[in-house]
Structures are given as C-alpha cells and as structure tokens.
Amino acid sequence: MSSQIKVSELDSSKFDITKIKKVLDLEKKYFNLLFNLFTSFNFINDLKIIELEIQKNYQFLSNVWGEKNKIKIPAERLARQYIYKNLSNLITSIYPSPVSSDIAFITNDAVINIDVKTLDYKGNKGDIHNLQFENNQSSFHNKYLDSDPNIPNSGVKVECLLPDEYSFNFEPEKPVLTYFLVIVYYDDNHSFRLYREDAFDTIYLKCLPNGLLSPLFNYDIVTNFKTYSYYDIQKGFERVYLTDDSNKVIDSVKKYVKDFPDFQLINGRSKVGAFNKYQVHPDNRIKGVSWFPVERKAKKGGSETKFYLEAVKKGNTNRVSNLRLMNRFDSEDKMRLGIKSFKIK
C-alpha cells in the first residue's frame, strides 16, 4: 500500500499533470475550509448540547427507543445545518446523483461529498485507526485486493462508484471530492459522553483521494474489506470442502489447484486462493473468478468449523489505514495533511 508521492515524480507523458495539480489544490482548499467549520466554537458548542441531550435522555434512548449509536442522527443533522448555513455562498446546486455521501453539493469548482461517521470508543476503537468507506463514497481507482501479479483479473475488485469528475447542466466538468467527518464518543451501556481521553481526539476530518490522483498512490490504498460476499451453487459455484484443520488450509488449496488444472494458485497479499480463468464473473462480466478459503460453522450454533474454497462475489466496506492518508502533497510538492483532528475539552 502506498502513501502519496509528489506530483513532480509522475511521468508527464502518461498523465494530465495540469488536471492532477488542480485536484490536489482543490482537495486542500476544501479540506481546510471544512476543518475550520467543524472545529469552530459554535459547532463544538452545539455538539456539546447534543451530548447533554443524550445524557439527559439516556435511559429513554436505550430502553424505549433502543438506539445504540445515539449520536449518529443528530451529528449528521448538525453537520448538514452548518454546511448549508455557513457555506451557502459557495453552493451553486445540490449534487443530484443518488450515488453519493450523506451530504453532497456543487460549488463553482468542485463537487463535494461529506460523510459523517460516529465511532464508539468502547465498542469500536479499532476503527478509529482506519477510514471505512462504501462504494458510493469514492472515485479512487484501487488495484484488486489479494491479486497475484502474475495472474490478470485475479483477486477481489474494489468498487468505487463515484465519478472522477461531474458535469452539471452542461457546465465544464468538476472533480468529485470526498471528505469524512468522524466524531468519537464513549457509550458503556450505562452512560454517554463525547470522547475526551488521551488515546484519541474527538473530531477527525479525513480526505479520501479523488480518482484522478490514483497514480500518486500507485492505485493502492485499500487495506482490506470488512466482509466478503460469496457465490453459491444457485449461481453455479458450488463451494469446495478443504479441511477441518486451520493449519492445513493453504496446503489444501495448493492440492486442489494441483488436482484441477483449470485453476491457478493465487499468492495474494494476505490470502492464498485459486483462480479459474475460464469462468466469467457474474457481476463484473470479466473473465476469471477468484476463489478463497472461507471458515464456516459445521453446525448452526456449534463450535466446530470447516474450511471451504468459495467463489468471491465482492468485498463489502473498504478499509484504508489513516497512515496512508495522513501525509499529502499539494501541486507544488509542499507537505500537507490529509487527516486533521481536534480534541474537545
């Protein structure tokens, strides 16, 4: 996985350097603007009012309403209010596509997507180290995950459905930029508070690179998927039993590939699997289907597990390490941050 290189390191004969520089500076421009907005005195004060409201009504929200993530909706509501109230002079239109983040609008030079994430330190502190995003929230062109460099189309496709650029009402195309506002809280099933301890800050703003910047990251920022989906026998992909022993999974995959010449061994970054170049992926319509080991319960509710080789349909929820996004460069190769944070007192 790659952090950003400087634009001066790109081959100018292969890429539109002028356009890439423009996107770099627009990402920087709106990142600074949004960070200042979401760490302003008024925004923080309103966030504390939400905190107090949840604390006053904690039992009702837990026992009657049954909501675990009690700040999710009011946090989205707050961010939306501040965007439309404070940036109304910049907004020329809403972004009309349903494929977008929670908040999406158009300015005179860009399309801005903002997703609001609220993370519980008590239950999900591991997620604070990463950025998780859905395929409707990014335009980045990532390599297939766990692909074998010697086998084209092997691995799992990283689907990012936002366009690099968008033209509204026959205007010139504008880059589609994506930002994530992350708010960390603490909920132990008895009480709620915004996170104020030493381990993490309370508010994070993260910038996910636009697709036109993919070569600056060697097309490789996604670490893994949160979950995977697999095809079953109804789609013509019957799973293959491998073993009951977790220590024998890799050897079992290798034996299967050796016994069935239609398959090639995939040596991926984190997985060993099998690739059938004669099969056609039902969703991507690309020739070649990757099969990876899957651990499943032998009986529902039981503790015994069995391992199968199964055809991968897709990965769900992409993960990017904060370290991949932290150090960025602008059009003049000057260092800037792709993630900033703020601690509430």
pLDDT in tens, 212-225: 999 999 999 999 99
Q: Find out whether 266 and 249 touch, Cβ atoms under 8 Å.
A: no
Name which of 58-67, 195-204, 205-214, 328-337 the model is least confident about. 58-67
Is residue 325's pLDDT more than 80?
A: yes
Dihedral sign, Cα of residue 40, residue 41, residue 46, residue 47:
positive
Strand partners, 316: 227
pLDDT, mean of residues 56-79: 92
The H or E element containing residue 117 is strand 111-120
C-beta atoms surrounding 54 within 10 Å: 22
pLDDT number for residue 189: 92
In the numeric block, which tokens belong to residue 25? 């500076």
Is residue 1's pLDDT more than 60?
A: no
Q: Find out whether 138 and 178 touch, Cβ atoms under 8 Å.
A: yes
Residues 6+ apart with CB under 8 A from 80: 102, 103
pLDDT number for residue 260: 96
pLDDT number for residue 64: 78
pLDDT in tens, 212-259: 999 999 999 999 999 999 999 999 999 999 999 999 999 999 999 999
pLDDT over 70, % of the chain: 99
Is residue 343's pLDDT more than 80?
A: yes
Estimate the share of the chain in helix, then strand, then coil, as percent rounded to the nearest 5.
Answer: 30, 30, 35
Q: How confident is the model at residue 273 (pLDDT cuts 50, 70, 90)?
A: very high
Radius of gyration of the chain (CA): 23
In the numeric block, which tokens belong to residue 308? 């199968």
**β-pairing verdict for 111-120 and 174-187:** parallel
pLDDT in tens, 12-25: 999 999 999 999 99
- 3-class DSSP state of 217: helix
**DSSP state, 156?**
B
What pTM value is reported for the model? 0.92
